[in-house]
Amino acid sequence: MKSHRFDNRKYSIGLMVVSVVLLYIIRLVQIQLIDTRYRNSADNNALYYRTVYPTRGVIYDRQGRMIVSNQPSFDVTVVMRNIRNLDTLAFCQSLDITQEFFDTRMADIRNRRKNPGYSPYTEQTFLAQLSFEEISEFREKMYRFNGFGITQRQQRKYSYEAGAHLLGDLGEVSKSEIEGDSWYVQGDVIGKQGVEKYYESQLRGEKGTEVLLKDAYGRIQGSYYNGEFDKEAVPGRNLTLGLDIELQMLGEKLMQNKIGSIVAIEPKTGEILCMVSAPSFNPSELSGRHRGEHYQELQARPDKPLLNRPIQGTYPPGSTFKTSQALTFLQEGIIDTETKYTCNDGFSFRGLRVGCHSHSSPLSLNFAIATSCNGYFCWGYYYMIGASKYGSPQNALTVWKDYMVDMGFGYTLGVDLPGEARGMIPNSDYYDRHYNRSWNGLTTISNAIGQGEVTLTPLQIANLGATIANRGYYITPHVVRSVDGEDTDTAYTNRHYVNVDKENYEIVVQGMRQSVIDGTCRAANNRDYLVCGKTGTAQNRGIDHSVFMGFAPMEDPKIAIAVYVENGGFGAVYGVPIGALMMEQYINGSLSEASQRKVEDYSSRVIDYGEEER
């Protein structure tokens, strides 16, 4: 009788064999077609992916003058796995570096905490942004240094020795910047300040990739498939600024040996025509391999040249602030053009005195603006904070504060630069905390004349001038006019209207014009066009600050300007004449011979700043 016992076994064995074969087939499909890890590993053994860096966008001024471009720069790169028999002494000599620097740099590259994503198989930046002269000796001897190579990039080239704070600079990416954006790897550069930082994503472009074939020893044999799999780099986008570079250079010259700032705005567009921060420095100092050394030198100086004072310095605006008070009092019905207040060399009431200079009294608003009368605006503020229609000083101050915020004070304006400060406009909660709710218009009287707790940035003071020039609106001040010829964000084209009637702005304009005709701004008068201005002498622990805010021409304003000279004394000493020269340069396109002599005079004047003043 035939046994069928082994028939079932053969089917079982056959099924096992088929199953094993299927498993192998599935695994092979997975390895070769689905899972890319093994294919990538094989490719990495035969292929080398070289990053192609894009050309960074170029920066132009409003006249189309190129102010920031690119020049060749070289990085020394290293693939750790490929280093063999390195003569470190010869290597260091070829790059003019020390053995200590070499050891530290190599350790930093291998440190995954400092260099996230490190791999001994991938290219790392050993030394960045070398000039042609600095790389030439290394290039000649590179065949001796297995594992090291050269990558060409660009570094910034500046056509003018001006605008450092506004333009900004490039520096090597930090660990946090790498973690925040996968576009960067160690050794890449990124915008650190100014326009370079704010518009980094537009300026940097997109990296490309060059695929190269390697032999068994890791040596490059040439392009893979004649570049069929290469990816071209996309150049960065070009920026056109509202900046007038000649006006910027004039401003920086006038502010030599001084601390302070100049900000000029085109009222109709909100474009920043110049932004001077003094003391300044040559923007080329923060470009290239020695950026770190120069940055530390600038950082150590007591006059703080790295501080962008136009947007980061907060100061008492002094009497330039009186224009905002006049607008508020008029709109709230506290005063009108016929209202007169007395000023007996100042404001005196219930034992409180705020001094003022001698002039006729009583006086109306127009004359109060022209003469910069402290008494007039103190009385106006006192009557507003104490007005019964508000119910309490707290409510009155809230109304007052809302006007100030509406005019662009107390908060950042939103300029397209990093690091803008907000300044200070006190509210009723602030005084409630400090005076246990027991305060009134006398307690806070300094607000009336831009002193006490009130602080603004020079940009905010210039924007006040632009708002008055426009008779009641401003466009957010901005540096960049267009990106590759396209307009910037609508935030920089929309009008922000202040809740004050145009008629009240016209009244203040007349007062500012009177100030230039026969008031504190007489030095700004110009026979070619009508100037409107307001001085400020901002009190300080030492010598007062010299301030000027104005615009011109009166009926068709092309420029609004704020000048702030720390410890410069009365507004008429430095603020007014510097502002007048800047307006003349921009409106006329040049300076008269007499004005050129004034430029040499004011640029040579030195203000001695002691340590306490700084």
pLDDT digits (tens, 9 = 90+) for 69-83: 999 889 899 989 889
- Per-domain boundaries in the chain: 48-241, 245-299+307-604
Which has the closest alpha carbon to 48: 215, 232, 183? Answer: 215
pLDDT band at 27 (very low <50, low <70, confident <90, very high): low
The helix/strand/coil state of 307 is coil
Average pLDDT of the segment spanning 142-163: 91
CB atoms within 10 A of CB 271: 22
Closest to 272 measured CA to CA, from 166, 410, 199: 166
pLDDT at position 24: 72
Q: How many CB atoms lie within 10 A of CB 177?
A: 16
Joined tokens for residue 487: 């307009």
Give tens-digit pLDDT for 472-517.
999 999 999 999 988 777 789 999 999 999 999 999 999 999 999 9
Q: What is the pLDDT of residues 163-187, one digit of tens each?
A: 999 999 998 898 899 889 989 987 7
pLDDT of residue 528: 96
User: What is the CATH superfamily name and number for domain 48-241?
Assistant: Penicillin-binding protein 2a (Domain 2) (3.90.1310.10)
Instruction: Calculate mean pLDDT across residues 335-339.
Output: 96
Rounded average pLDDT over 28-36: 61
Supply the mean pLDDT for the chain. 91
165 backbone φψ class: left, alpha, beta (φ>0; ψ -120 to 50): alpha
Q: What percentage of the chain has pLDDT greater than the value 90? A: 72
Whether 538 shows a pLDDT value over 50: the answer reads: yes
- pTM summary value: 0.87
| pLDDT higher than threshold 80 for residue 217 | no
Q: What's the CA gap between 266 and 246, in Å, rounded?
A: 15
Q: Which of 85-89, 126-130, 289-293, 464-468 has the highest mean pLDDT?
A: 464-468
- Buried b / exposed e over 311-324, threshold 16 CB at 10 Å, is bbbbbbbbbbbbbb
More confident: 353 or 51? 353
The confidence score (pLDDT) of residue 230 equals: 86
- The per-residue pLDDT for 38 is 44
Give the pLDDT confidence score for residue 41 in this predicted structure: 46
| Cα dist from 264 to 84, 269, 464, whole Å | 59, 12, 11
pLDDT band at residue 216 using 50, 70 and 90 as cut-offs: low
Per-residue model confidence (pLDDT) at position 37: 47
Cite the DSSP H helix spans in 30-174. Answer: 36-46, 88-95, 99-110, 132-141, 164-167
> Which residues, other chains included, contact 424 with Cβ-Cβ below 8 Å and sequence gap of 6+?
314, 410, 453, 454, 455
Q: What is the pLDDT of residues 374-426, one digit of tens each?
A: 999 999 999 999 999 999 999 999 999 999 999 999 999 999 999 999 999 99
pLDDT value, residue 26: 76
The pLDDT value recorded for residue 118 is 83
With 80 as the cut, is the pLDDT of residue 55 above it?
A: yes
For residue 149, the cross-strand partners are: 77
Residue 372 has pLDDT above 90, yes or no: yes
Q: How far apart are CA 296 and CA 350, in angstroms?
A: 53
Select, from the ranges 214-223, 363-372, 532-541, the one with the highest average predicted confidence (pLDDT).
363-372
Q: Are 210 and 451 in contact (CB under 8 A)?
A: no
Percentage of the chain exceeding pLDDT 70:
93
Helix-helix angle 502-518:458-469, to 10 degrees: 110
Arch. (CATH architecture) of 245-299+307-604: 3-Layer(aba) Sandwich (3.40)
Residue 185's SS3 state is coil
Q: Could you check whether 48-241 and 245-299+307-604 share the same CATH topology? A: no
Q: Are 128 and 189 in contact (CB under 8 A)?
A: yes
Strands of 320-465 (E only): list them: 346-349, 352-355
